[in-house]
Amino acid sequence: QDWHCPGGKMQEVLLALVGHTGGLILETEDRFIVNPDAKFLTEPEKLILARTVQSGYYCKQLGEFSARVREKHFKSSLQAPSTSTPAKSSKFGRHEASAGAASEVSPPQKKCEVGCSHALYAATRKLEEILDQYSEKLVKLESELAEEPNLPLTHLEWRLGDDLLVLRVLHALVQRIDEQVLRGGPLLDFLWQAAASFSGNSNLHSNLWRMVSGAGQVLANQLVGWMIYGRLIDPQAEFFVGRVWDHQPHWEPGSALFGLPIDNFSKPLGAMEAQREWESNFCLMSEKVPQLIISLESAKKVLFVGKAVRVLLRSGKWLSKPDVHVGIDADLQGAPRDLTVASLVSEVALLHKSFDAKSPVHVLEHSVEAVRKHVASELRQLVVEESNLVRHLEALKGFYLLGYGDVFQTFLEAARELLSRRPPPDAEVIISHGPWSLAVSELEAALEGRSSTEVLKQRALSSRFEVRFVPQQLELQSFNDCARQVKLIGMVRLAGGAAELGLGGGDSRTVMSTTASATSSSSSMGSRQSAMLWLATRQRVARSFTHIFSFQLHAPALGAPTVAEYGCRFAWCCQHRWTPSELQRAKHLEGLVDEVGTQRGGFLSGLGTSGASGHRSSHQLGSPTRGMDRSAYVSTWTSIGECLAVEVTFCVIPSGTHSSSSGGVGSTGNSNSGFNPLGELKVAVYICHPGLGSLDSKSSSRLESLVHCLSTGTMTMPAPRGKVHTIRLEYTAGQRSLRIFLGMDSTEALCEAEVDLEQTIALHLGSAYLGLCLLPLDHEHRLVGETNPPDLKEAKYTSRDRPISVTSWSHELLEKSDYSLRRSGEDALGLETWFSCLELDYNVPWPLPLVLPQSALANYNRVFQLLLAFRHVHMELQALTLPRGDLLAWALRHEIAFFLSQILQYFQQDVVEVAHQKMLRIIQSSDSFDVVVCAHEEFMGTVMTHCFLRTPELHALLMSALRTAILFCRVAPTSTLAGSKAAASASKSTSATRSHSQARAPHSVASSGRRGTELRRLQTDFETITSSVLRMMHSMHRVGMHTHLSKVLLRLDYNGYFSGSLDP
């Protein structure tokens, strides 16, 4: 009907109420209005009609918003998630610890869109239900108008009054959501706050809570997926628990069901990977927590529960089918049927229906705590009972805290001569195969008479402990006589005081010589034996250090045919996954591996299941080769797996082939015609580990590890033939900064990367293996996030590649340990060098690293070094043989021995034994994993504090006492020898000539006098140290800082001997 006719007026109004304008109702930017030309309507009717049709405007806007969200939601659901990560803005390893066990660093994300949110889509579906109810109401209203056409406009206003209010509020909400791009937890908080603010109108109140329940149901499903199944069902990164962005799992077929790459719990996982997953793979993002619904404390519980469930799943202790992927979505719709404990079924059902309850906050908090208690109990059962944690803690006490006294008595006696001098280059090998093996055999001999089962268990535990010597400084000024300090892999040899890294292929004498032809064929240059040079022992890299090496490029022979340019490319590598011996052994096995082995691990596939970590998972060893010819394949450093590398590329443009103005490469000229070649030096910092993923190549039959470039730098400089170039690396742990310099004294960094070595790659007690690895100039890495990655080709050397010689190599810590000597010359004592570098390595079986992480083992080693130093010095004092007449030496030895023995007895009896027994009682009576962890942390805190490792001033004084004692042990035997000679001379005076005795007497008296002076000086120094120690202990005890000091003060000064000389 024509809207000008009164009969068509109501039909036009009904269409406007569902969002369709016409001639009577017009649309502006922010509302519907009545056509001013409607002369048949009175002014009051126009006002009533204008107010009424606003619900149609809101209905149209909400419908468009709903359609937009739905369209974006389904588009994003059909797309595979991107594995790209930003290259320049990355902050590798910067996982700040929050006030708890969670890390609160958000992974980088792509730009958010309104539609890319499951929580918003769920709320929009509730919005659509509200609009559907509104449409149904309009249909009924239309029926009423058909029966009674003469109903006034006020009837419409009355019938739609509540709907107008609801639609107006909902329209304001979606506008705020559009403006602020709310999603996930912030969206739920916003909807919750809006619903709680409107409590007058019942219809509005119920509809707002309906929106809350829609978004809340997504959160409930995510909580169930994470806390029950250990999986992050979070395709749009809205959940407050997320993966650390550089530890994403590999993409697998079927992953689209969950929106992100998934984990296959049926695959084995090595101890190192499992420990990394527990410690740093998942983080809590506080900005995504709906804090009006879930407290931050409960969010931390959720993070713990999910990680614990993943541990239980891999151990087969949680779900009956841990490798099931399909069907999880169906289980999330109701209570899971495959839980091991039926009591959790009700809690899961409550979680699913939490936002239908009257108090969702209470239901969520209660359910999270209930699930946490049960998971903590199951995890405690796995760690304490099934893994026999108590037995391992007793073994830790026996080895690290010197509980096995006979073992360390044997060890120190066997190593006494070795500890009296500076450590040799192969100190770790000597002490491992000598004194340590003897001490362990002593422990096994003590097991005679026990049951065979007990003997096997003890042997298995003892085999997990190894002694390590990690020097704080290593310096190779040349490579003469350093064969025991480096490992040569591939085409490497030591000659002329340098280490030559060749290209392989053909006659090695020709290839590695500086007179080799630069135009060797690619077939002769191509070899899969890439050259690697590794330091044989671990080096500390978690603390600040300076690392320097010098290299020399082998230029083509004079008179050789001209090449456009030539150069070298090598990488400084830092990794702990493989020992140099394993890399060396794998190199020799390479030919056999190609026939029957695997490829994904590169040349490492021949290692089987052995390795530095003692565990190798299946995904590290790779997939079978496809039978392709790989005779010319060069194993690059990316084949190692997890590694940090600083690549150095040095290209020389021979004289006559470059432009003097631009420095570009020309095509003519002779390399021997001038003496001004230019060199371009490029430095790049790369990170490679399994979390970044890998790419398969059908053309090359290998799986290339993805690498992430952290930083690059380039410079051009003169490159005369035979020049030695020095590269200096400086790492500052506190600032997480790795800087690379050219030259020893350069102050301007060529390249700088922000990286935390301890968090970025797996280290063992803060140490790693360091090496130099040669690779072809033309090799191209597969970088993370490349839009057009290069084709994966086999790495081959060409005529442009040249060998290099490494002329010097050094590594030095900038932060010294507790035992570092205040250098005033040569370390003549040996105490500082040995006991700052000697440590124990314990191969912790999974899942015990949940209680005994690397940080705990580092603290155990600090206590071990302290106790072993005291025990060694005390044994040296007891082994001294003094003559009866040397009263000063006897008195001083008695004072020193008494002081050290009382300190050592206090450490082992009053501190370690008491705290250890308390910890074992708490663990054995506990019913939760949290209690176990807290008990062990309290034990370590008590031992560290009461052994004065957290009191630097007092600890330094005790180290000074040990230095004085060692000096006394060096001086006293000389004094004894002099006294014996003097006595012998007096007894034989009757048979010797008087002139000979008179000639020797002044020299003996002078020598004895100097030694007496030295002993008195040592006595004065020792008395000063003991006075300072007692004074500091008294002061601390008096102010209540250390209440435990009363025990050690009573032991040291029970009769006032030391304190009697103190000033009042």
- pLDDT tens digits for 160-212? 888 888 888 888 888 888 888 888 889 898 988 888 887 666 788 888 888 88
Tell me the mean pLDDT in the region 407-432: 88
Report whether pLDDT(1016) > 50. Answer: yes
Q: Who has greater pLDDT, 673 or 17?
A: 17
- Looking at residue 231, its pLDDT comes to 86
Contact yes or no for 307/275 (Cβ under 8 A): no
The whole-angstrom separation of Cα 74 and Cα 82 is 16
Q: Lowest-pLDDT range, 337-346, 410-419, 591-600, 919-928? A: 591-600
Highest mean pLDDT among 468-472, 507-511, 596-600, 911-915: 911-915
Smallest CA-to-CA distance from 966 within 900, 882, 888 is with 900
Q: Among 9-23, 99-113, 654-668, which is the least confidently predicted range? A: 99-113
Average pLDDT (221-227) is: 90
Average of per-residue pLDDT across 979-984: 44
Count Cα neighbours of 572 within 13 Å in the Cβ-side half-sphere: 20
Query: What stretches of 745-855 adopt beta strand conformation (E)?
Result: 751-754, 767-774, 804-813, 838-842
- Output the pLDDT for position 692: 56
Most confident of the ranges 238-247, 487-496, 607-616 = 487-496
Query: Cβ distance 863 to 943 under 8 Å?
Result: yes
Closest CA to 88 of 742, 685, 779, 705: 685
Mean pLDDT of 236-254: 63
- The beta strands (E) that lie in 606-659 are given as 643-653
pLDDT at 787: 59
For residue 904, pLDDT over 60 is answered with: yes
What mean pLDDT is reported for the chain?
76
pLDDT 10s digits, 961-980: 999 998 888 887 754 444 44
Q: Read off the tokens for 983.
A: 């006595």
CB neighbour class for 653 (10 Å; exposed up to 12, middle 13-18, buried from 19):
buried
Comparing 807 with 452, the larger pLDDT belongs to: 807
Contact assessment for residue 557 and residue 824, using Cβ atoms and an 8 Å cutoff: no
The proportion of the chain whose per-residue pLDDT surpasses 70, expressed as a percent, equals 72
Q: Compare 608 and 412 and report the one with higher pLDDT.
A: 412
Question: How far is the first Cα of the chain from the last one, in angstroms, to the nearest whole number?
Answer: 113
Residue 575 backbone phi and psi in degrees, to 5: -155, 160
When pLDDT is cut at 50, 70 and 90, the band that residue 424 belongs to is confident
Contacts of 896 (CB under 8 A, 6+ apart): 877, 961, 964, 965, 968, 1022
Q: Which residue has the tokens 């594995």?
A: 83
Picking from 843, 830, 861, 838, the residue whose alpha carbon sits closest to that of residue 943 is 861
Give yes or no for a contact between 818 and 836, defined as CB atoms under 8 angstroms apart. yes
Provide the pLDDT for residue 384: 93
Q: What is the mean pLDDT of residues 216-238?
A: 87
Give the pLDDT of residue 562: 63
pLDDT by residue (tens digit) across 106-122? 333 333 344 468 888 88
Report the range of poorest mean pLDDT among 12-16, 383-387, 391-395, 778-782.
12-16
| Category of 709 on φ-ψ map: left (φ > 0), alpha (ψ -120 to 50) or beta | beta
The average pLDDT across 691-715 equals 65
Lowest-pLDDT range of 147-151, 193-197, 768-772, 1057-1061: 1057-1061
* Burial of 430 from C-beta contacts in 10 A (0-12 / 13-18 / 19+): middle
Q: What's the confidence (pLDDT) of residue 807? A: 93
Taking 60 as the threshold, does the pLDDT of residue 30 lie above it? Answer: yes
Q: What is the pLDDT of residues 292-321, one digit of tens each?
A: 899 999 999 999 999 999 988 888 888 754
Most trustworthy range by pLDDT among 131-135, 679-683, 793-797, 887-891 = 679-683
CA distance 667 to 653: 11
Three-class SS state of 5 = coil
